[in-house]
Structure 1
């Protein structure tokens, strides 16, 4: 049985941790809201290349010669397993190929002729906007994951405080019971 002082110290320590995790959750919540607003704007540009391929009804090449995978992960902690989930997702995409503007150019009827400058400009624009969109998606999901992690940490701290308080009360009750037994035994011995 732990001493009352040690248990009380642990309750205070876990209480401080709970306050920190609650504050971090609130900060993440505010950052998530701001990031979500920015994501809505970025998503408009990020889906533009996808709409082009949907419009031209192109299908991806099933046997690609080469691929480039860009995994955008968080460089900060306290956000759960979000980074490992992303790495698993990237690994599962091996063998698939994205469409490019060059694939769509022959089927794109809005221009009479598409020259190399147009293709280069569109490729640069679509890659830049898709990467920006992916970074915004990653950032927003990181804040959401951190918010969830801090909520879970706060809940776990509350559970620990509840269990420690129960242990503290039981220990305190055992100490009081022991003292009462000593007093009663001493009174009986005097008679």
Structure 2
């Protein structure tokens, strides 16, 4: 009886340490296998989103080319008949979107707005005439898109006057821009000019923040160039609102093209990162599996030698 107990203790001492090690190896391999499956699923999703964004990008670029004609016509009118009245009271209209997974497309316009309100040396307002190159930190802000709204709410929550969402879910239309312009005019916010902050399309892989200033009704009426034509009040008001709708439409379609381009690049980078992670995990899984097989062979050979 005593001999049997001694043999049982010896067997437990021999098997004891190896069992947890094998269990740990199996658990680790199982976790790696599950993670591999998860990363492969993510890779499939990001590749699908990249293909969708590529298709939408081509459509957005065609719409941007058509929409730019509105902005160019607007710029040509005010270039030939400039308004010489300074515009100290500015209203900032920040154009973003409601969707994410598109890189820094939203933070780009948010940072540009913060620099403009802080009158930083690299403020985007430096592209405007010298008399209009500064802004009051308490200037009112209106935001198109929930993403930039959340970013600007942290530091400039008191400046926000109006926010818009569900605009640009598909390719923006002139009706969308006209509706936004109408709500801005009817909001009762006093301004001399409107500074539109948007993302400028540079190429399919790059974009940059830019601003476009639209003169208000009072600035147009008191301009010496516009006084020559003796326009009626209704005509000046309609011109100001129509020029605002034109500028918003051009900025919306260009911002939409930048968003699709950034989303395509972001999903492409995500797919590449997932592929690299799959390679690393696969190598780790193979090494763990080979180590587990080697340990089992060692145990078999050791047991056979003992017999």
TM-score, shorter chain, exceeding 0.5: yes
Match for 1:18 among 43, 56, 61?
A: 43
Rounded Cα–Cα distance in structure 2 between residues aligned with 1:48 and 1:104: 22
- 1:113 maps to 229
Q: Residue 71 of structure 1: SS of its match in structure 2? A: strand
Q: Which runs of 5+ in 1 are unaligned?
A: none
Q: Residue 3 of structure 1: SS of its match in structure 2? A: helix
* Larger CA Rg, structure 1 vs 2: 2
Q: How many residues align?
A: 186
Q: More relative contact order in 1 or in 2 (CA 8 Å, sep 6+)?
A: 1
- 1:102 maps to 220
Structure 1 segment 21-170 matched on structure 2, within 5 A: 21-56=46-81, 61=86, 64-94=87-117, 95=134, 98=213, 100=215, 102=220, 106-107=224-225, 113-116=229-232, 117-170=234-287
- 2:296 maps to 179
CA contact (8 A) 1:60 1:99 kept: no
Q: Residue 75 of structure 1: SS of its match in structure 2? A: coil
Rounded Cα–Cα distance in structure 1 between residues aligned with 2:242 and 2:288: 68
Rounded Cα–Cα distance in structure 2 between residues aligned with 1:60 and 1:173: 78
Rounded Cα–Cα distance in structure 2 between residues aligned with 1:115 and 1:3: 79
Q: Which runs of 5+ in 2 are unaligned?
A: 1-24, 118-133, 136-192, 194-212
Rounded Cα–Cα distance in structure 1 between residues aligned with 2:90 and 2:300: 82
Quickly say closer, same or farther: Cα 1:52–1:18, change in 2 above 3 A.
same
1:131-178 deviation digits (Å, cap 9, x = unpaired): 111111221111111111111111111111111101100101101111
Rounded Cα–Cα distance in structure 2 between residues aligned with 1:189 and 1:59: 101
Rounded Cα–Cα distance in structure 2 between residues aligned with 1:92 and 1:48: 28
Q: Which runs of 4+ in 1 moved over 6 A?
A: 57-60
CA contact (8 A) 1:80 1:145 kept: yes
Quickly say closer, same or farther: Cα 1:147–1:59, change in 2 above 3 A.
farther
* Higher relative strand content: 2
TM-score of the aligned structures, taking structure 2 as reference length:
0.55
Rounded Cα–Cα distance in structure 2 between residues aligned with 1:106 and 1:130: 23
Rounded Cα–Cα distance in structure 1 between residues aligned with 2:269 and 2:85: 41
Once the 2 structures are TM-superposed, how far is the Cα of residue 81 of structure 1 from its aligned partner? Answer: 2.2
